[in-house]
Amino acid sequence: MAEVHLWGALRPIVGGALSVSVEAKNIRELFKTLAEQYPAFEPHLQRGIAVSINGKIYRDTWDQALPADAEIYLLPRIPGG
């Protein structure tokens, strides 16, 4: 069970909570489970979400493992100049 912290724009989707618990062992499962539990996640996932795992930010890697007790934050995907 991973505790996933959400940024403000995602919180209304889960009824205002700061974080949700998700059963997932990697990023792909995390996204899949979120979309199943909260269909409103779908457009955000399509636009792209980055995942911070213990401070290291991943953008595309589905098979990245979510270690137990990891600190996980969902973040908007950042553009660059």
Partner 1 sequence: MPLDTNFTNQKFKQVGTRPLRPDGVDKVTGRAKYGADYNAPGQLIALVLRSPHAHAKIKKIDTSKAEKLAGVKAIITSADLPDLTAGDRGMRDILENCMARKKVLYDGHAVAAVAAIDQTTARKALKLIQVDYEMLPHVTDVDEALKPSAPVIHNDIFTEGVEPTPTKPSNNNKRASFGHGDIVQGFKDADVIVEHTYKTEQTHQGYIEPHACVANVSPDGQGELWVCTQGHFVYRNQCAALLGMDISKLRVTASEIGGGFGGKTHIWTEPLALALSRKANRPVKLTMTRDEVFRCSGPTSSTSIDMKIGAKKDGTITAAHGVLRYHGGAFPATWAEFGAMTAFACYDLKNVKSESIEVIVNRPKTAAYRAPSAPMAAFAVESAIDELAKKIGMDAVELRIKNAAKQGTQSSYGPVYGPIGIGATLEAAKNHAHMKAPLGKNQGRGMACGFWFNFGGQTCCDINVTPDGTVTVAVGTIDVGGSRASIGLMAAEELGLAYENVRVVIADTSSLGHNDMTDGSRGTFSTGMATIAAARNCIKVLCARAAKMWDIPEDAVVWEDGHAKPAGTNAGNFPPLSIKEIAAAAGNTGGPIAGHNELVADGAGVSFATHICDIEVDPETGRSTVKRYTVIQDAGKAIHPSYVEGQYQGGAAQGIGWALNEEYIYGKDGRLQNAGFLDYRIPVCSDLPFIDTMILEIPNPNHPYGVRGVGETSIVPPLAAIANAMSNAVGVRMTHIPMSPPRVLKAISNRKH
What residues make contact with partner 1 under the rule CB under 8 A? 5, 7-9, 11-12, 16, 46-47, 52, 54-61, 64, 71, 73, 75-76, 78-81
Comparison of 26 and 52: residue with beta carbon closer to partner 1: 52
Residue 1 or 63 having the CB closest to partner 1? 63
- Choice between 7 and 28, CB closer to partner 1: 7
Listed residue (49, 53, 76) closest to 64, CA to CA: 53
Task: Name the residue type at position 44.
Answer: H
Shortest Å, Cβ 32 to partner 1 = 19
* The amino acid at 63: D
- 22 CB neighbour count, 10 Å cutoff: 19
